[in-house]
Amino acid sequence: MRVGIGYDVHRLVEGRKLIIGGIEVPHDKGLLGHSDGDVILHAIADALLGAAALGDLGKHFPDTDEKLKDISSLMILKRVGEMVKEHKFKIISVDVTLVLQAPKIAPYVTEMRLNIAHVLGMQLDQVSVKATTAEGMGFVGTGEGAVAYSVASLHPLPQ
């Protein structure tokens, strides 16, 4: 088995939609990024790339590539899933924890899990999405940004 860890962080700003887990969550701020800034999907993609030893998200999707400007992170995650499969790995599970002071995402977790499972060709019970706050501490606690941590496990397929 192979295991990878992913991490992503984005600033919350006015004038952007808040896209998390591939869905728009109602909020007065959104995540700043070259793409849609979806920290959950970026962390999962990075964990998958790490488990397959394929580098990181910036290597494959640089923020200098204008073709990627405002791209849906679901498309990024889909491509990463394809890359992992092209390198003869089966995705066993993904787990992600979002750290965000507001808004609460509990009402959206099932839809997020469905999005991730669908894009990666997985079953719902192979995808975990959790969230917590920063208890008012640091840049996340003051509402300035969001962080996501992820773990992914892969199984090598016969060559």
CB 154 within 8 A of CB 51: yes
Residue 151 near residue 12 (C-beta atoms within 8 A): no
Second-level CATH architecture of 2-156: 2-Layer Sandwich (3.30)
Going from N- to C-terminal start, the domains of the chain cover 2-156
What are 4-28's pLDDT values in tens digits? 999 999 999 999 999 999 999 999 9
Mean pLDDT, to the nearest integer, of 117-139?
97
First to last CA, the chain: 15
Q: What is the number of alpha carbons within 13 Å of residue 48 lying toward its C-beta?
A: 32
Q: Which two tokens stand for residue 57?
A: 């998200």
Q: What is the DSSP string of 75-119?
A: HHHHHHHHHHHHTTEEEEEEEEEEE-SSS--GGGHHHHHHHHHHH
Nearest to 81 by CA among 46, 48, 37: 48
Task: Answer for the pair 16, 146: CB distance below 8 angstroms, yes or no.
Answer: no
Q: What is the DSSP letter of 135?
A: T
Share of the chain above pLDDT 70, in %: 100
Confidence (pLDDT) at 97: 98
Q: Which pLDDT score, from 0 to 100, does residue 141 have?
A: 96
**DSSP SS3 for 139:** helix
